[in-house]
Amino acid sequence: VMHFAAPFPYLVLLVLLIRGLTLPGAVEGIKFYIIPRWEKLADYNVWGDAALQIFYSVGMAWGGLITMASYNNFHNNAYRDAMLVPIINCGTSIFAGFVIFSVLGFMAHTAGTTVDEVVKQGPGLTFVAYPEAVAKLPISPLWAVLFFLMLYTIGLDSQFGMFETCISSFIDEYPRLLRSKRVLLAAVGCFVEFLLGLPCITQGGIYVLQIMDWYCASFSLMMISLIECLVIAWIYGTERFYKDIELMIGYKPHAIWHYMWRYVTPAVIFGIWLFSIITLGPVTYDGKSYPTWAIVFGWILGMVSLVPIPLMMIIQIINTEGDTIVERVKKLTVPAKNWGPSMEDDREDYIKSLSHNTYTLSNMDGSPVDCEEALLTHKQKIDMNNSS
């Protein structure tokens, strides 16, 4: 399915671009798109909106990238992939911009107005402005079908990734119970999401969608990304992270990433998070304000994804042995005994790479484990599996 769903939108975008460029007014739309308005660079809202859009489009902190990467071969070049994903994403966005603004230029030409008058932000651009422009084209049903089929395919494509993230998280947490029931779990999950999606297709569904878009895709994403970055850079440690990557791809990434992970990236994310909090006023749509209960519901919706982080921290601290909280926290900053590659050969290499440091792993209760002892236990386990 993915072999069709991934390239199909590019084909439709190319067809729509060719058609759009043949329309009167398309050049004005393209000019509006590519000619910079330098004074806007002094507006912090522009930078904040751009950063939020990158977070949303690349999929950082949603879990999809990490989930899909977890299915790769251990020695897959993740460093190369981490470069390709944002490049392809931004390239696609630029390409799609030509498609959109060529048709919006035609719409402005037809209406006898300027392009900035017909441009709308958010879902209005996709579901109102562009379809309205397509409806004015010759053979409009053909272009309308292609456009919405493309949107449907992109939505389905994205949903595959998000849904796989949910399914994998449940199966990884309860492997013995759920691994053999994957199809049933997927069916139940699809049905539940189907029911949750029904309010979005009612006559007032756009207002429900606006609440989700307003509160779920901004401040919570930033906070999750910030925590992930701080944990890897400051608790797990960039040096250990470098060695893990080197074990996987055969060489260390450039030294600049050490400073990016520890200082630049957290500072940038924190700045964006502050921007999103400061500028995130009460939700509105089409100039209409929402009632208080809807705003409260939106904040609750946005906080749901953050609650498990402090909750699991508290549970882990309670379950770890130690006389004081500080002692327990120190034990929890050491990787667990079962941390590392899943394949036997890769895990053996991983444990060997840590053998220079006596205590680099810990038991589930937080007590330290000697790497030589862990390697011996691992080999004994392999021998037992082979003999059985």
What are 248's two structure tokens?
């996987």
Residue numbers in the known binding site for Na(+) are 57, 89, 157-158
Helix (H, G, I), strand (E, B) or coil at 112: coil
What are 51's two structure tokens?
């950063």
Closest-CA residue to 84 (of 73, 69, 74, 70): 69
Residue numbers in the known binding site are 57, 89, 157-158
Paired with 369 in beta bridges are 361
Contact predicate 186/86, CB 8 Å: no
DSSP 7-46: THHHHHHHHHHHHHHTSTTHHHHHHHHHS--GGGGG-HHH
Contact predicate 382/336, CB 8 Å: no
CA distance 135 to 254: 51
Identity of residue 290: Y
Contact predicate 220/244, CB 8 Å: no
End-to-end alpha-carbon separation of the chain, Å?
39
Which residues, in sequence order, are CB contacts of 214 under 8 Å at separation 6+? 280, 283, 298
The helix or strand, by DSSP H or E, that contains position 368, with its residue range, turns out to be strand 368-370
Q: How many CB atoms lie within 10 A of CB 106?
A: 27
